[in-house]
Amino acid sequence: MRHAFKMQLKPGVAAEYKKRHDELWPALAAELKAAGISDYSIFLDEETGTLFAVQKLAPGNTAAALPRSPVVQKWWDAMAPLMEVHPDHSPIATPLKEVFHLD
């Protein structure tokens, strides 16, 4: 199953956002993979600062439990200055409806 969502960067932070993802913590990558997430990409609309993310979720994935992970919470804290976030520093993520797919 594919899951897509959008998030919003704050102005002027795109380069820092990319840098942090280029240096993604190995523990975070391991946590995401262990939760059944793969083929995860994030794209940036440079005109608006909108991020578009898409990921594959394995059957029986545990992605819904990730917000309770200390590694994920620490990542959110580190990323909060760059993005629009909720009070707990989780990104404000709006799910997107798939309207077309071609294999």
Whether residue 100 lies inside any domain: the answer is: no
3-60 confidence digits (pLDDT tens): 999 999 999 999 999 999 999 999 999 999 999 999 999 999 999 999 999 999 999 9
71: domain range?
Answer: 2-95
Is-catalytic flag, 86? no
Whether residue 87 lies inside any domain: the answer is: yes
3-state secondary structure of 55: strand
Whether residue 101 lies inside any domain: the answer is: no
Whether residue 103 lies inside any domain: the answer is: no
Q: What is the mean pLDDT of residues 54-82?
A: 97
What Å distances lie between residue 15 and 72, 75, 77, 86, CA to CA? 21, 17, 18, 22
3-state secondary structure of 36: coil
Instruction: Specify the pLDDT at position 70.
Output: 97
Residue with tokens 């909720």: 86
Whether residue 50 lies inside any domain: the answer is: yes
- Gap between the Cα atoms of 4 and 17, Å rounded: 19
Instruction: Specify the pLDDT at position 84.
Output: 98
Whether residue 20 lies inside any domain: the answer is: yes
User: What does the DSSP 8-state code read for residue 64?
Assistant: G
CATH number at residue 85: 3.30.70.100
Q: What is the mean pLDDT of residues 83-102?
A: 97
Among the listed residues 3, 21, 89, 101, the single catalytic one is 21
Is residue 103 pLDDT above 90, yes or no?
Answer: no
Whether residue 102 lies inside any domain: the answer is: no
Domain tally, the chain: 1
Q: What is the mean pLDDT of residues 53-79?
A: 97
Q: Is 36:62 a contact under the CB 8 Å cutoff?
A: yes
Whether residue 83 lies inside any domain: the answer is: yes
